[in-house]
Amino acid sequence: MSTLRFFLRVLLSFSVLIVLATATWAHGAEIRIADSKGDWGYPNPWKHYPRGPGYVRMSWVFETLVWKDENGIVPALARSWYYDRDRRAFVFEMVAGAKWHDGKPVTPEDVAFTVEYFKKHPYGWVVLDYVERAEPTGPNQVTFFLKRPYAPFMEDVGGTMPILPKHIWEKVPDPKAYGEPAAFVGCGPFVFKDFDVAKGTYLYVAFPEYYLGRPKVERLIYVRALDPLAALLSGQAHLANIEPEMRPLLESRGMTVIADRAGWVKKLMINHRMFPLNDRRFREALAYAISQEEIIEKAHRGRGRAASYGLLSVDHDDYNPNTPRYPHDPSRSRQILESMGFELGKDGFYYKDGEALRLELLVSPITVAGQPAADRDGEVIRDQLESVGIRVDLRNMEQTTTDAKVRNWDFQLAISGHGGIMGDPKILNEMISEEYAAGSVNSARFQDNKELLKLLETQMLEMDPAKRRAMVYRIQEIFAEELPSICLYYPETLAAYDPKKGIRWFYTKGGISKGIPIAQNKLSLIR
Amino acid sequence: MGRKAKTLGNVVNFLVAFSLLVYLSYALPRLMPGDFVTAMFASSHVTLSAQQEAEAKAYFQREEGFGLYLLRIVRFDWGWSYALFQPVLSLILQALPWTLVLAGGAHVLASVCGFVMGVEAAWRRGSRVDRALVGAMTMLEGVQEMAVGVALVAIFALHLHWFPTGGAETPYAEVSLEARLVDMAHHLVLPMATLVISYLPGNFLLARNSMVMVLGKEFILTARAKGLPEKRVRYAHAARNALLPVLTRFGLRLAFMVTGVVVVETMFSYPGLGTLLFNAIRSRDLPLVQGVVLFSSAVVLVVNVALEFVYTRVDPRTRHAP
């Protein structure tokens, strides 16, 4: 009896302590964001992982000249800017009073230094090949002189390049090896305090002297949570990316659910360097055989939208509504195959010179906005292709293995996906041309159409938006005609947050920086 | 064979096995398809040109050869993680305490409880308690730890709100040390319960079977005939002799605790060596993969050596085994 009493006492004390502890933590001055992976590297340009969540973690600490909100580009460290066509230069008027986290003022010299430093120690997110130099041209003015006109400048450099404190980095010869606390001194709204590698957690605290005003919360914390639904419902997190199926339950529990525009596309990668995939007609037959709507219906219970075959998002300002389409038409697909000399065998599959038409399709759980997502796309596509007579061997692999095979052209078909299709049309160059993205597994690396390559080159130099748009329209048409990869659909990208915390989260138009489809825009915690 | 010769033989065996493990830790991760630069950059927002890709590979993927690797290992220089820019050994040491607490704690708890329950059930063989325990444990033995974890989270975290759904503690809670310890214990309950529920049935059934065999031996009859108290017969005579297979199982399970708890660590977002290895493999962080593989291999080896020692203490007859 006394033992039982002892255990009851222990249990009671334990419960009281838990209640007390929970009560202590339940203050409203912090925001917790859930992330399934947790570990995205340290938040500075050389130490964060090169995917979107890594950049976002850095964006709380470091500032750019301009930023984006839900409507497009807005001022950040630069309060105004213009392009000087005669001097081929972008001129930025900087805000006064911005400070680094160590109290020193942010100056145009820091911006000029950042350009020089990134030229010496390249940062993958920012391409400075077109920038000749940047120099201070006034007490609060900095001018970027370009070697050639560069149309994506505002997004690619202005809205992506983190400005570095000169007084710290000028003494650092190897930024990759530099891990002192000063490596995380920025002028952003939050000061980086800790990254726990083992737990996958991050802690940032508000920077009271932030030039746009003190942030709305004192502490910003990332927690690792495999299941965003559980994390949100249990109150362990206040914001998380969610699966579409979670929406009704979360809304019924008072959570606010927000949806992004079509900023992420699932694609069928094609090895167009090997027979029969190197024949445009065959790729066209594939497009007619695949039903985008059926994939969305069967693999995603209707949650998604059919993609444009021209790569750029249908929600993009420069989307070409006349991009060629391939409505599901199995008989047309068969006609094309037969016109290429394939003969239908008794088993219902095509043969050529006695050899079966057989393709291997690689599938893997692809990471979307930092969350690995498994689906049944591969099975649906296999069934669709087999129904027209193309035998398909489906191979499920881990993502890095699939990536390596695609990277080395050791594949026939593979399912892949990427964001950035709502950002600057430069994404077309990166996802089409080998010159821009030889190392990318999402890029078609297609060099066979000279007109396409020429247009890709010239659209980068065209500073007149109307003229550039005409080129971008034509690029989409050619891409959809050539089909070096087939765009399938845009999955629903959703996030849920607890409105009781008083923060309104939103998806950024065009995605954060170069098109990151994550609803963690720092302006949510400032304005 | 003399005792010294036997000890020397054991040391030589240990060194040969360790060398083999060091080689495997070097060679196996290199058989994985893909590389760090492809894993990190290939489908990121950073689109590398051919030149940038070559430079990144040259920077991150410097091949040193097995000789240098071996030299570094014995000097306790296990290299730096490509992805985290930190010494591998320090990353392992950061994750190790969590694995020890969760996996080690669950093993000890499941082994002790399983053994005691097995001994008691065997002693009451054929009774209602025995039949109920055997039935329940046989059924539980077939349930995957993932299913156990999901059920526990659904009931105790999401429905009753008694425990958190994941994590090792409330991150960055500004509380006293005592409250932090309580918070850690609070977070530990569900993942540890998942592991204990998964490990317990095997331990119970093994201990019970072992005990049933021992109870049929003549020395037990002798002990009873001598009029020894029941508890003494049960534990000092019978249970001690039934302990060996349970101990072997404990040792083997403990040896694989690094990789054996990946599912539970992932499910509960609990830190540990399993998660560290899982992420390192995903990003093809070769130095970290080989470090964790080597460490876990060394644990297997050390546990086996320790078991040899413990066997001789528990059952002196094993000292004379050839």
CATH code, B305: 1.10.3720.10
Interchain pair B42, A439: CB under 8 A: yes
- Structure tokens given for A414: 């593979």
Contact A203 B172 (CB under 8 A): yes
Whether B111 and B104 have beta carbons less than 8 Å apart is answered as no
Whether residue B48 and residue A440 make contact (CB cut-off 8 A), yes or no, is: yes
Please give the sequence-ordered ranges of beta strands (E in DSSP) within A318-458, or none if there are none: 343-344, 350-352, 355-356, 358-363, 366-368, 371-373, 391-396, 413-418
Instruction: Please say if the pLDDT value at position A183 is more than 80.
Output: yes
Using DSSP's 3-state secondary structure scheme, residue A350 falls into strand
The whole-angstrom distance between residue A251's C-alpha and the CA centroid of its chain comes to 26
Write out chain A residues lying below 8 Å of B45, CB-based: 50-52, 55, 125, 419-420, 513-516
CA-based nearest residue to B183, from A201, A221, A236: A236
Which chain B residues are Cβ-neighbours of A420 within 8 angstroms? 45
**Mean pLDDT on B252-280:** 84
Residues from chain A contacting residue B157 (CB–CB below 8 Å) = 230, 234
Does residue B45 sit within a domain?
A: no
Read off the tokens for B7.
């000890």
Q: Which of A412, A413, A285, A385 is nearest to A340 (CA)?
A: A285
The reported pLDDT for the residue numbered B3 is 67
Per-residue confidence (pLDDT) for residue B43, from 0 to 100: 67
Chain A residues within an 8 Å CB radius of B171: 32, 196, 199, 201, 203, 221, 223
Question: Does the beta carbon of B288 lie under 8 angstroms from any beta carbon of chain A?
Answer: no
Q: What is d(CA A434, CA A449) in angstroms, rounded to the nearest whole number?
A: 12
Residue positions counted in chain B: 322
Query: Rounded to the nearest 5°, which phi and psi values hold at A391?
Result: -75, 135
Backbone angles phi, psi at A489, to 5 degrees: -160, 165
Give the CA diameter of chain B: 85
What's the confidence (pLDDT) of residue A4? Answer: 45
| CB-based contact A516 B43, cutoff 8 Å | no
Asked if the interface predicted TM-score (ipTM) of this complex is over 0.95, the answer is: no
Question: What total of structural domains would you count in chain B?
Answer: 1
Strand order in the sheet with A190-196: A190-196, A201-206, A219-224, A30-35, A239-242, A494-497, A256-259
pLDDT, residue A5, reads: 56
For residue range A266-314, list pLDDT tens digits in order: 999 999 999 999 999 999 999 999 999 999 999 988 999 999 999 999 9
Burial class from Cβ neighbours inside 10 Å (0-12, 13-18, 19+) for residue A285 reads: buried
pLDDT at A14 exceeding the cut of 60 = no
Neighboring chain B residues of A513 at a CB cutoff of 8 Å: 45
A58/A253 Cα distance (integer angstroms): 32
pLDDT-based confidence at residue B2 (cuts at 50, 70, 90): low
Q: Are B157 and A441 inside 8 Å of each other by CB?
A: no
Asked whether residue B292 is domain-assigned, the answer is yes
Contact B44 A49 (CB under 8 A): yes
Q: Is B65 on the interface with A (CB under 8 A)?
A: no
What are the C-alpha distances in Å from B38 to residues A79, A402, B187? 38, 10, 36
Q: Which of A369-378, B226-235, B256-265 has the lowest mean pLDDT?
A: A369-378
Residue A416's nearest CA partner among A388, A440, A436 is A440
Q: Are A201 and B173 a contacting pair at CB < 8 A?
A: no
- The tens digit of pLDDT for each residue in A192-224 reads 999 998 899 999 999 999 999 999 999 999 999
Name the minimum distance, in Å, from the CA of A168 to any CA of chain B.
20
- Asked whether the beta carbons of residue B44 and residue A51 sit closer than 8 angstroms, the reply is yes
Select, from the ranges A474-478, A491-495, B102-106, the one with the highest average predicted confidence (pLDDT).
Answer: A474-478
Please report whether residue B135 resides in a domain: yes
Residue A266 · residue A417 · CB < 8 Å: yes
Q: What is the mean pLDDT of residues B184-206?
A: 94
Give me the residue from A20, A198, A406 closest to B98, CB to CB.
A198
Beta bridge partners of A75: A66
Across the interface, which of A51, A230, A405 has its CB nearest the CB of B158? Answer: A230
Chain B residues with CB under 8 Å of A366 CB are 43
Are A216 and A503 within 8 A, CB to CB? yes
B234 domain-assigned:
yes
Please, which residues have CB within 8 angstroms of residue B194's CB and are 6 or more apart in sequence?
A: B145, B148, B149, B152, B264, B267, B268
Lowest pLDDT segment from B72-81, B141-150, B180-189: B72-81
Our CA-based measurement puts residue A57 at a distance from the nearest CA of chain B, in whole angstroms, of 14
Across all residues in chain A, what is the average pLDDT? 91
Which residues of chain B are within 8 Å of residue A231 when distances are taken between CB atoms?
165-166
Residue B86: list chain A partners with CB under 8 A: 197
pLDDT of the residue at A381? 97
Average pLDDT for B219-247? 87
Interface of B with A in 196-255 (CB under 8 A): none
- The residue segments making up the domain with residue B124 are 2-31+63-320
Q: How confident is the model at residue B72 (pLDDT cuts 50, 70, 90)?
A: confident
Indicate yes or no: pTM above 0.80: yes
pLDDT digits (tens, 9 = 90+) for A164-175: 999 999 999 999
CA distance A84 to chain B (A): 29
**Closest Cα in chain B, distance from residue A179 (Å):** 8
| Shortest distance, CA B226 to any CA of chain A (angstroms) | 33
- Does the pLDDT of residue A20 top 60, yes or no? no
* Average pLDDT for B302-320: 76
Residue A432 has pLDDT above 80, yes or no: yes
User: What tokens were used for B310?
Assistant: 């413990």
Alpha-carbon distance of A112 to A117, in angstroms, equals 9
Residue of B nearest to A21 (CA): B179
Q: What pLDDT does residue A26 have?
A: 39
CA–CA separation, A490 and A158 (whole Å): 28
What are the chain B neighbours of A21 within 8 Å (beta carbons)?
Answer: 170, 173, 175, 179, 182-183, 186
Q: Which residue of B has its CA nearest to A38?
A: B269
Residue in chain B nearest A417 by alpha carbon:
B43
% of chain A residues with pLDDT over 90: 78
User: At what angle are helices B3-30 and B66-74 packed, to 10 degrees?
Assistant: 130
User: Tens digits of per-residue pLDDT, B172-182?
Assistant: 988 899 999 99
Q: Can you tell me the mean pLDDT for B218-234? A: 87
Residue B40 lies in a domain: no
Q: Do B167 and A203 count as a contact with CB atoms less than 8 A apart? A: no
3-state secondary structure of A127: coil
* Residue B66 φ then ψ, to 5°: -65, -35
Question: Which residues, other chains included, contact B216 with Cβ-Cβ below 8 Å and sequence gap of 6+?
Answer: none
Q: Is B130 exposed, middle or buried (0-12, 13-18, 19+ CB in 10 A)?
A: middle
